[in-house]
């Protein structure tokens, strides 16, 4: 019987190399992997706790990113609240907003993908850009050391995030982010209308959440494994803190 939750070769590789990350961020990253594995073990007997562990795994992966940026001393990283549930649950929506910008603004035949790159016994993540097939390959080292703008303007991603929030039938970004962070509590505690419960948890929903967590872990590694402060990381950090109301544009 085929296991729909069997890890890909790439995900198994991520599991291995997060253990060699910097302290304390590697502990959060490793915890994320641990929560995924435990969530899958109880998937058939407790939908609510399976979902809760996957939410916790996402938060731990986001925490790893925050701690890695603090460790590398990115400008304004001290303003990240790595224990705040709203901050941790805001990373995936923020990445979705970035994705919308790429889809709308970036017009290129370059197709980026992540690959493992072993050098001197150390396995690191590299971004490989394929141009017009396998004939031409461009490797980015470090992988996120670039900047993106439209015209002369830097990107802030707030407009794209507002578009996503509107699709969720919410008026304000802050309202949506607070609601997203509160889902974990709805699973744990009884409310005015009764017990928190999930009637079913589709395989596709679980797989999508796991893929999102591994995306966060990949970003963590691309930050943690490189000594240099990377331009795109700094740009995104500033934009994230603008949306969270911690710095001005």
| CB contact set of 213 (below 8 Å; sequence gap of 6+) | 32, 36, 54, 57, 58, 61
Reported pTM: 0.91
pLDDT in tens, 153-177: 778 899 999 999 999 888 899 999 9
pLDDT in tens, 72-130: 999 999 999 999 999 999 999 999 999 988 877 665 555 677 778 777 667 787 777 66
How many folded domains does the chain comprise? Answer: 1
Q: Is residue 114 part of a domain?
A: no
Per DSSP, the residues of 14-80 read: HHHHGGGS-TTHHHHHHHHHHHHHHHHHTTTT-HHHHHHHHHHHHHHHHHHHHHHHHHTT-TTGGG-
Q: Is residue 168 part of a domain?
A: yes
Q: Is residue 145 part of a domain?
A: no
* Domain region containing 44: 9-98+156-243
């Amino acid at each position: 019987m085929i296991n729909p939750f069997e890890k890909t070769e790439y995900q198994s590789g991520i599991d291995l190399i997060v253990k060699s990350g910097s302290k304390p961020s590697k502990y959060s990253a490793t915890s994320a992997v641990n929560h995924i594995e435990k969530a899958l073990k109880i998937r058939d007997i407790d939908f609510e706790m399976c979902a809760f562990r996957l939410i916790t795994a996402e938060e731990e992966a986001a925490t790893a990113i925050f701690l890695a940026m603090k460790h590398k001393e990115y400008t304004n990283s001290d303003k990240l609240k790595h224990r705040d549930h709203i901050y941790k649950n805001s990373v995936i929506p923020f990445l979705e907003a970035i994705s919308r910008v790429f889809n709308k603004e970036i017009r290129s035949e370059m197709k980026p993908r992540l690959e493992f790159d072993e050098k001197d016994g150390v396995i690191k993540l590299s971004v490989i850009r394929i141009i017009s097939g396998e004939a031409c390959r461009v490797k980015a080292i470090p992988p996120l050391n670039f900047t993106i703008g439209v015209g002369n303007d830097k990107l802030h991603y707030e407009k794209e995030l507002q578009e996503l929030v509107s699709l969720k039938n919410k008026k304000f970004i802050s309202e949506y982010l607070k609601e997203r962070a509160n889902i974990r509590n709805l699973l744990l505690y009884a409310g005015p209308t009764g017990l928190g419960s999930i009637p079913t948890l589709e395989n596709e929903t679980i797989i999508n959440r796991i893929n999102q967590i591994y995306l966060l872990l990949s970003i963590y590694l691309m930050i943690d494994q490189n000594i240099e402060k990377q331009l795109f990381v700094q740009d995104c950090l500033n934009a994230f803190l603008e949306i969270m109301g911690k710095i001005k544009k």
